Amino acid sequence: MTIMFLIGTAVCALSTLTCWVMTAVRNHPADSSIISIAAIELYLIAYGIYAVIRQAMGASITGEAWEFWGYVLTALLLPVGVFIWAMVDKTRWTNLVMSFVGLVVFVMVYRLEEIWWGSAL
Amino acid sequence: MGKRTVSRGRNHDAAGFSAAAPGTSVPTPRNRGVGMLIITAYGIFAVSAFARAFYQITPFPQEDKVQFADAPLALSLSAFAAAVYILATLALARTSATAWRIALAAVLVEMAGVIGVGTWTLVQPSAFEVATVWGFFGRDYGFIPLILPFLGLFWLLRHRPSETVSAED
């Protein structure tokens, strides 16, 4: 288990929890929900930069490079796509829609770690 | 976004469920409120199933990657699942009566697909050495593919076109 994976797990878990709480207490998109998925996006950018630097310096990954970068790109687009979709209708449920980002990104980071190191745990 | 002004007070609490209640003045359209969650889930599966099928089928020149010729059945089923999810997402997100029928058909095909393919992989695992999206009832995806068509069907039946007609633009 890498530090990056631990940070990612924490960021995703906090984001999803924040969005769930906000679903209960706000009937409009909460600033904290939006900031929490922005934090996930920032984390993914950092993860991507880390991977670029490490692989540019000659380190290899266990799995396929194509699959790895496919996951990174899809993960980077996810918070943006979900945010745009969530803002179509600004209700309580916008927060719940945004809570999906943390869940899905966690799974994607788990897969990324498997591709990168051979195992996430 | 400093001050929180809520302009849509009318629409608070359980907005998504009000559409089923007869006599409600403005029912929530089926692609709003809770419906947005279901569409988001479908959208995520559309993207991930498409990405998986695309990666599996595209002949990237790698030694240990399974090529299409090695597992045509599993890979075709992945592509089919991706197509069904994309169609269902688009149809669920639209409000017309035609979209409702397309969405219903897509959700039923999805339900038959995940149960059929899931059973098939259990009965004849030798035909599926390569995993497919609906294999083992969507085990690779936390069995969400098994739950999703039931949620979709429930939502569609709660929001028949005649009830949402007034909400169409």
> 0.90 exceeded by the pTM?
no
Token pair 């997402």 in the structure block, residue = B89
Measured between CA atoms, the residue of chain A closest to residue B1 is: A31
In angstroms, what CA-CA distances link A89 with A29, A61, B15, B35, B36? 9, 41, 11, 11, 8
Average confidence score pLDDT of chain B: 81
| B93-118 pLDDT per residue, tens | 998 999 999 999 999 999 999 999 99
Task: Give me the mean pLDDT over the B129-137 stretch.
Answer: 86
Query: A31 and B11: CB-CB below 8 Å?
Result: no
Is B55 in contact with A97 (Cβ distance < 8 A)? no
Average pLDDT over residues B21-42: 78
CB spacing of A91 vs B32 below 8 angstroms: yes
- B13 contacts on A by Cβ (under 8 Å): 27, 92
Q: How far is residue B21's CA from residue A42's CA, in Å, rounded to a whole number? A: 42
Residue A77's domain comprises 3-117
CA separation for the pair B74, B97 (Å, rounded): 34
Q: Check CB contact of A62 with chain B, cutoff 8 Å.
A: no
User: What domain count does chain A have?
Assistant: 1
CB contact under 8 A, A27 and B8: yes
Q: Which two three-digit tokens encode residue B143?
A: 């069995």
CB within 8 Å: A28 and B43: no
Going by C-alpha positions, the residue among B42, B56, B45 that lies closest to residue B128 is B56
Q: Where are the domains of chain B?
A: 29-163
Report the pLDDT value the prediction gives residue A31, as an integer from 0 to 100: 94
Q: How far is CA A94 from CA A35, A100, B86, B137, in A?
A: 13, 10, 22, 29
The predicted-structure confidence for A26-57, as pLDDT tens digits, reads as follows: 999 999 999 999 999 999 999 999 999 999 99
Distance (Å, whole) CA B133 – CA B118: 9
Nearest to A27 among B6, B32, B51 (CB): B6
What is the model's pLDDT at position B16? Answer: 47
| Residue B146 binned pLDDT confidence (cut-offs 50, 70, 90) | very high
User: Mind telling me how many Å the CA of A92 is from chain B's nearest CA?
Assistant: 7
